[in-house]
Amino acid sequence: MTLKEVRRCARNSLALSDRLPIARHCRFAVCLYRVLAEGRMKALLLLLLVGVLGCWAVEVKRPRGVSLSNRAFYDDSKPFTCLDGSRTIPFDRVNDDYCDCADGTDEPGTSACSNGRFHCTNAGYKPQYIPSSRINDGICDCCDTTDEYNSGALCENTCREMGKKEREELQMAAEIAREGFRVKQLLIEDARKGREEKQTKLQDMVQRRQALQSQVDALRLQKEEAEKPEQEAKDAHQKAWEEHKEAEKAEEDKQRSLEVFTELDQDSDGMLAASELRSHMELDVDGDGAMSDEEAQSLLGDTSVDVGIFQESVWPQIREKFKSETDAQAVPPIEEPTESHPEVPEDEDEEDGDEGEDDEEDEPEEDIRVPPSKAQEAEPEMPPYDEVTQALIDAAQTARSTYEEAEKSLRDMEDTIKGLEKEISLDFGPTGEFSYLYGECYELSTSEYVYRLCPFNRVTQKPKHGGSETNLGSWGSWAGPEDNKFSFMKFEHGTSCWQGPNRSTLVKLSCGKDSILTSTSEPSRCEYLMEFFTPAACHPPPEVLPDDHDEL
């Protein structure tokens, strides 16, 4: 065996972690064994083999409660220096159940120091530190039971079972992470293609918008040009119709005045005298209910008037007041009470009691129908347009429809352009992996509410048993820590609380094979917390060790 071979064994053994110094010694022994076996040094071979077999069962010597990483500070061959450097004490005062160091490092295995820490080796599981106050308190805090070495508590070493369970959970989580990360790669590729397609579409639509805008401007001018003759023709038609109605009305009024003159001319001599107006009390001038000769004469303005003067000067004064005797005869007279139908006094009606009142309530009211006056008669409809006017209207309508259709297309195009610009400008993650969530919504139903999460849009809450929807926040920004910015979404400026701030929501993104909203809570008033699982939040999983690693 050469010196070079020994050095090689030492170099290989040092490759082990500092946490396993005894394993480092064992590897060195195994290496020497192999070298000696090749050299067939029988005598040393047996001795080294015994050493190799024994090294696995030997635990590195160190004070109770000290971790392997701190073993070098606890050398029993020299005084102990407190880890804060405050003082140095004889080594036999380490773990003597008296606190000498201010930082408590001289009592890692006792409860003497209030600020001391006890290291649980927990072989088969993960090491941990516990406060020294928990040492020998009758409660097993270390799964390897080393914290209760002198309490008499019946503790069972559960480290291997806990380690096995943890590894199974880690393996399951790793499997989910692997599958989620695989899906994430597909999402990244889809996002890349989708972004390129949207950018191409945006550029194309921006170019087309300019051409469509020019077309809309031209169609607007055509519409306005077609509407001018249309409006002129419609105005002319309307004017002719109004003139026609006025002429008909004037003719009707003239005919009516002639009928009234004939009715008033009682002696039919073609002249209307004041005495012939006295029977028409409705023409009373001074409102005293009587028609005197002077009032009648004031209406006529002369001793007597012919039909022409009547129509010109008298008729306009009495047109609204005059009541024809024939019209008065058409209205049935009010029936006066007779002996056979005496009028029932009011007192007698009251004596009939409640029964009479009930009878009156049960009887339906009399339906009194009053014939409509001429003013209430339906207005005659305007006649249809002539062919020339209708042709102008049709041409203008065609121009309007063409313009409105083009204008709507332009508005739709502008909306699409704005939507594409907004989507392209959003931060969907380092490689666009979150872009698939844009435009999607996910719901979570609880006993009272239905929560709705729309990433990059807003979060809402709606009562299940009726009530309006409440805005819990609109998309704000990514809110994760600097080293993991895309682990949280912030939604803000929601509906304000009663005498409180506006509602806001923080969404935690966790790795999952599927996209699902799993939980919601309100840790602070009007501040909500949700957890959302998505493949976009997955990362390459670390390798899970197949077996436990014991710290000796």
Strand partners, 521: 529
DSSP 321-365: T---HHHHHHSPPPPPP-SSSPPPPHHHHHHTHHHHHHHHHHSPP
Task: Summarize pLDDT for 407-442 with one digit per residue, the tens.
Answer: 999 999 999 999 999 999 999 999 999 999 999 999
Closest CA to 21 of 525, 537, 551: 551
Reduced to 3 states (helix: H, G, I; strand: E, B; else coil), residue 428 is: coil
The per-residue pLDDT for 268 is 87
Write 441-449 long-range contacts (CB < 8 A, 24+): 442/515, 442/516, 442/517, 442/532, 443/517, 444/517, 444/518, 444/519, 444/520, 444/530, 446/520
The Cα 398–Cα 414 span in angstroms is: 24
Percent of the chain with pLDDT over 90: 59
Q: Residues 331-347: pLDDT tens digits?
A: 555 555 554 445 545 54
Mean pLDDT of the chain: 82
Q: What is the DSSP letter of 484?
A: G
- What is the distance between the alpha carbons of residues 428 and 537, in angstroms, rounded to a whole number? 11
**What's the whole-number mean pLDDT along residues 43-59?**
43
Higher pLDDT, 354 or 218: 218
Confidence of residue 22 (pLDDT cuts 50, 70, 90): very low
Which pLDDT value is given to residue 33? 47
Interval 123-179: pLDDT, tens: 999 999 999 999 999 999 999 999 999 998 999 999 999 999 999 988 888 899 899
Beta bridge partners of 505: 491, 528
pLDDT of residue 19: 36
Residue 343 CA: distances (Å) to CA of 5, 333, 337 = 145, 17, 6
* Residue 115 CB contacts under 8 Å (≥ 6 apart), including other chains: 103, 104, 132
Q: Distances from the Cα of 246 to the Cαs of 240, 243, 251, 300, 499, in angstroms?
A: 10, 5, 9, 27, 67
DSSP classification of residue 126: -
pLDDT of residue 31: 52
Summarize pLDDT for 357-388 with one digit per residue, the tens: 444 445 545 444 555 554 455 778 899 999 99
Is residue 51 very low, low, confident or very high in pLDDT (cuts 50, 70, 90)? very low
At 309, the pLDDT band (50, 70, 90 cuts) reads confident
- On the question of pLDDT at 444 being above 90, the answer is yes
Instruction: Report how far apart, in Å, the C-alpha atoms of 104 and of each of 75, 101, 107 are.
Output: 17, 5, 6
Instruction: List the single range of 24-28, 415-419, 499-503, 515-519 with lowest mean pLDDT.
Output: 24-28
The reported pLDDT for the residue numbered 103 is 95
Confidence of residue 500 (pLDDT cuts 50, 70, 90): confident
Report how far residue 421's alpha carbon sits from residue 195's, in angstroms, rounded to the nearest whole number. Answer: 11
Q: Is the model's pLDDT at 299 over the cut of 50?
A: yes
Task: Please check the confidence at residue 300 and state whether its pLDDT lies above 70.
Answer: yes
Least confident of 36-50, 170-184, 451-465: 36-50
Q: What is the pLDDT of residue 88?
A: 95
What's the confidence (pLDDT) of residue 416?
A: 95
pLDDT of residue 1: 46
Q: For residue 541, name the pLDDT band (cuts at 50, 70, 90).
A: confident
| C-beta neighbour count of 466 within 10 angstroms | 6
